[in-house]
């Protein structure tokens, strides 16, 4: 297992710059007063494809040699990595096939089609996803770009926190969502090299808390098909992301479904920006655990903005 280094991160940043946005960092006096801390929101919802995953996907695609690239790339994803890989493959002009759960938000399925990708649906479980994907790769010979258990992907995701520290300076803590662990691993990779005093917290839904249970038990615990409004955080850790989580994360904080929805609603209402439910989990956990962050400078990574605008969670029955 190759563990990416900070040299890989710097190389990734140079490689992907033509294909990504250097996203802004926003602040909110309202949320600062609510949290009792100074919060800095890294807005990956303004990224290409409205998702941080474009960073890792672009690094993976443009890191392939020409012979491998011509066979195309393939992946399985609940949405954001799927449309990000499709975007990156389109920029390079190579084919891409994506296995997506049939329950993935329609907005993400439409984005994959819009970028020219081929979508193949599976049942909403990790086992179904991986089984259907194995058939796709066997037929096409495409290069497998795992959504997070991939050193090029993690090096790409690490450029997000690199930009955050370069733009804002020293932070006491950074909070990012955790599902499979790609973004949190990238954050660990960067911060452990250039901001070693910054504590790293992962934020996770109570309804999909396998990373938290893994962290407490000291080994990976994988749930097959958890149910949560934060659809991007349903997948389990893998060996590469577990390496970073187990070695560098300070703690994993949990939020209920209603706390996630409330944080998402408040962000839309007070900051006037569109974020998806997974992006709201860090803020929800900060507001729930104010004692950890009071008086501190805290980076908050808003990972994406691909929510289903026709099916917003606060318009549904209370969770």
| Residue with more model confidence, 235 or 34 | 34
Can you state the angle between helices 151-168 and 239-248, rounded to 10 degrees?
Answer: 30
pLDDT at 317: 57
d(CA 99, CA 74): 8
CA distance readout (Å), 67 to 92, 97, 294:
13, 18, 53
DSSP string for 238-286:
-HHHHHHHHHH--EEEEE-HHHHHHHHHHHHHHH-----HHHHHHHHHH
- The Cα 217–Cα 204 span in angstroms is 16
Average pLDDT, stretch 145-167? 97
Whether the pLDDT of residue 117 is over 50: the answer is: yes
Angle (CA) 284-289-291 rounded to 5° is 145
What average pLDDT does the structure give for the chain? Answer: 94
Q: Are residues 120 and 268 in the same domain?
A: no
Pair 126, 87 in one domain: yes
User: Same domain for 172 and 62?
Assistant: no
Average pLDDT over residues 277-286: 98
Residue pLDDT, tens place only, 239-260: 999 999 999 999 999 999 999 9
Burial class (CB in 10 A: 0-12, 13-18, 19+), 23: buried
Q: What is the pLDDT of residue 77?
A: 80
State whether 163 and 121 are in the same domain. no
* Any domain includes 97: yes
pLDDT tens by residue, 181-215 = 999 999 999 999 999 999 999 999 999 999 999 99
Please tell me the predicted confidence (pLDDT) of residue 172: 98
- Structural domain containing residue 138: 54-144
Q: pLDDT tens-digit profile of 38-74?
A: 999 999 999 999 999 999 999 999 999 999 999 999 9
The structural domain count of the chain equals 2
152, part of any domain: no
**What pLDDT is attached to residue 299?**
98
Per-residue pLDDT, 319: 45
Structural domain contains residue 16: yes
Quick count: other Cβ atoms within 10 Å of Cβ 34?
A: 16
How far, in Å, CA of 196 to CA of 152, rounded? 22
Give the torsion sign (CA, 275, 26, 54, 170).
negative
72's CB contacts (< 8 A; 6+ apart) are: 89, 94, 95, 96, 97, 140, 142, 143
Residue 173, domain CATH: 3.40.50.1100
Looking at the fold, whether 67 and 210 belong to one and the same domain comes out as: no
For position 108, what pLDDT does the model report?
Answer: 76
Residues 199, 293, single domain; the answer is yes
Q: 238 versus 111: which is more confidently predicted?
A: 238
In this predicted structure, what is the pLDDT of residue 187? Answer: 98
Same domain, residue pair 62 and 96:
yes
Residue pair 199/293 in contact by the 8 Å Cβ criterion: no
Task: List, for residues 72-109, the tens digit of each pLDDT value.
Answer: 999 988 678 888 999 999 999 999 999 988 888 787 78
pLDDT at 34: 98
Alpha helices in the chain (DSSP H): 6-16, 29-35, 53-62, 66-69, 80-92, 106-114, 126-140, 151-168, 182-194, 210-217, 239-248, 257-271, 277-288, 290-293
Whether residue 119 is predicted with pLDDT greater than 90 in this model: the reply is no
Convert the pLDDT of each residue in 121-140 to its tens digit.
999 887 898 899 898 888 88
Note the pLDDT of residue 164.
98
Is the distance from CB of 313 to CB of 229 less than 8 angstroms? yes
Q: Which of 110, 144, 178 represents a domain boundary (last residue)?
A: 144
The CA R_g of the chain, rounded to the nearest whole Å, is 18
- Please give the pLDDT value at position 316: 72
Q: Are residues 85 and 107 in the same domain?
A: yes
Secondary structure of residue 79 in the 3-state scheme: coil
């Amino acid at each position: 297992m190759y563990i990416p280094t900070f040299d890989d991160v710097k190389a990734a940043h140079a490689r992907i710059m033509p294909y990504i946005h250097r996203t802004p960092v926003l602040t909110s006096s309202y949320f600062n007063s609510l949290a009792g801390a100074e919060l800095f929101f890294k807005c990956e919802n303004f990224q290409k494809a409205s998702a941080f995953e474009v960073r890792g996907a672009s690094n993976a695609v443009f890191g392939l040699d020409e012979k491998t690239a011509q066979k195309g790339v393939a992946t399985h994803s609940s949405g954001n990595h799927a449309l990000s890989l499709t975007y990156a493959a389109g920029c390079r002009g190579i084919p891409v096939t994506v296995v997506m759960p049939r329950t993935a938000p329609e907005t993400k399925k439409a984005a994959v089609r819009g970028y020219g990708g081929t979508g193949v649906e599976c049942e909403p479980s990790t086992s179904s996803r991986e089984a259907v994907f194995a058939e796709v790769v066997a037929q096409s010979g495409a290069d497998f770009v795992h959504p997070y258990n991939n050193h090029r992907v993690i090096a790409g995701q690490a450029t997000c926190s690199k930009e955050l520290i370069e733009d804002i300076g020293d932070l006491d803590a950074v909070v990012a969502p955790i599902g499979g662990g790609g973004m949190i691993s990238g954050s660990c990779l960067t911060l452990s090299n250039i901001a070693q005093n910054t504590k790293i917290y992962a934020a996770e839904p109570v309804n999909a808390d396998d990373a938290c249970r893994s962290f407490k038990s000291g080994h990976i615990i994988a749930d097959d098909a958890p149910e949560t409004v934060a659809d991007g955080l349903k997948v389990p850790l893998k060996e590469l992301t577990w390496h970073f989580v187990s070695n560098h994360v300070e703690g994993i904080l949990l939020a209920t479904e209603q706390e996630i929805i409330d944080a998402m609603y408040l962000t839309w209402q007070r900051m006037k920006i569109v974020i998806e439910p997974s992006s709201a989990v860090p803020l929800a956990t900060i507001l729930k655990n104010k004692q950890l962050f009071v008086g501190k400078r805290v980076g908050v990574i808003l990972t994406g903005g691909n929510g289903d605008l026709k099916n917003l969670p606060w318009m549904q029955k209370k969770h």
